[in-house]
Structure 1
């Protein structure tokens, strides 16, 4: 079955433009014209990804994102006419997987959507490759589930992908550019602050589960997986 994308934007032209581009790429689409309608459509339609404008009537995209994150981990791609870095960071900290600034190329949006969807579709790995373990951390690659000790930790698609990248080589220090390349491929335009925000979210979620040493920062170099073996708190 084609995967379904929900487009939530108060601009009818943008909804039509994106729907045409996404359907041309083989995806199904649904749309909503304001935040409240978008939240209801997401609850009933169960899309595989939500494209979410920030500035909308009735309920803005940031609040929609907050509420969607209480319900589950459906990937979210933000659209915004605001190009301030703080807006990008806030969006990521709320749980968005990616962020595109208006005006945008429909081709770029489709590329980012397909990249996120590829990360949610399990690869045909060998059985022994379907799970990663490091210290008390375990990652179920097929189920996209992270656990520390005996506690499930709910992650967004991008957060899980970053953690999987670090866990693939626990002793390696990954630069921010290397992490971006693993997520999206070479040459993809994402700021370092976006990666920092995802890493901060990961740390906060695992600290809440009792893991205080999930990711190490090497100043001026990048990140690597911590020992993930500290005592629960």
Structure 2
């Protein structure tokens, strides 16, 4: 699944730099140089997340954010002037999901995008399972604890993150490249078996008698199958 980013930034050089970098990281990027154009593109419904500069030539980014929140719940990351705490506070009050100060490191922006998208995916899954129950698995997200048939699982921090991503997309395939980015925060390199090791450990802890709980999708990635539905 290729995530679609709407980048609203009036600085042409910065916008093109970020667009190239995001495209190289596997994102589908649409660009806008004004708030009006950004709102028009967002209204087309072809966007998964908005990266929005606060300082725009026609209308402020905060006003764009207010209008977006009046229409939908698209996740939004604000680009703010370094040290401008007021804009950040107001942005969160209006409904921003995160912010990053300018000039921003493209790698940090990618990490923030993945974190917000993962949180949104988890929230969507939680709406379908508001008590955090996924069959015979129960998750206490605030405490970062997981219970299998009410017995606590001893998971490492990384194993928890991998499982969280899989649960957020339960029943659907998650590409190894996406899982690596969202859970471990880095790109999947050739011959890197780190993710496979974490999956193997998760399978063992979730019950070796049920290896299909985390299914390998050959040539793509992994999928979590909810079992023990009560």
Compute the TM-score of the two structures, normalised by the length of structure 2. Answer: 0.55
Name the SS of the counterpart of 2:52 in structure 1: strand
Aligned-partner Cα distance in 2 for 1:51–1:86: 19
Q: Point out where structure 1 has 5 or more consecutive residues left out of the alignment.
A: 134-138, 142-163, 170-181, 187-233
Q: How does 1:80-159 map to 2 (within 5 A)?
A: 80-122=80-122, 131-133=129-131
User: C-alpha root-mean-square deviation of aligned residues, in Å?
Assistant: 3.3
Residues 1:21 and 2:2 are matched in the alignment:
no
Against the structure 1 CA distance between its residues 46 and 129, is the aligned structure 2 distance closer, same or farther, given a 3 Å change threshold?
A: closer
Query: CA deviation digits over 1:159-201, x for unaligned, max 9?
Result: xxxxx844877xxxxxxxxxxxx99999xxxxxxxxxxxxxxx
Aligned-partner Cα distance in 2 for 1:87–1:6: 20
Contact 2:79–2:102 under 8 Å retained in 1: yes
The ranges of structure 1 where at least 4 consecutive aligned residues each deviate by more than 6 angstroms after the TM superposition are: 182-186
Q: What corresponds to 1:66 in structure 2?
A: 66
CA positional deviation for 1:73 = 0.6
Q: Point out where structure 2 has 5 or more consecutive residues left out of the alignment.
A: 135-139, 146-160, 165-181, 185-230
Name the SS of the counterpart of 1:69 in structure 2: helix
Aligned-partner Cα distance in 2 for 1:110–1:12: 19
Q: What corresponds to 1:8 in structure 2?
A: 8
Contact 1:76–1:98 under 8 Å retained in 2: yes
Larger radius of gyration: 2
Name the SS of the counterpart of 1:18 in structure 2: helix
CA positional deviation for 1:51 = 0.3
CA positional deviation for 1:115 = 1.2
Against the structure 1 CA distance between its residues 30 and 167, is the aligned structure 2 distance closer, same or farther, given a 3 Å change threshold?
A: same
CA positional deviation for 1:120 = 2.7
Aligned-partner Cα distance in 2 for 1:45–1:129: 21
Name the SS of the counterpart of 1:38 in structure 2: helix
Q: What corresponds to 1:33 in structure 2?
A: 33
CA positional deviation for 1:14 = 1.3
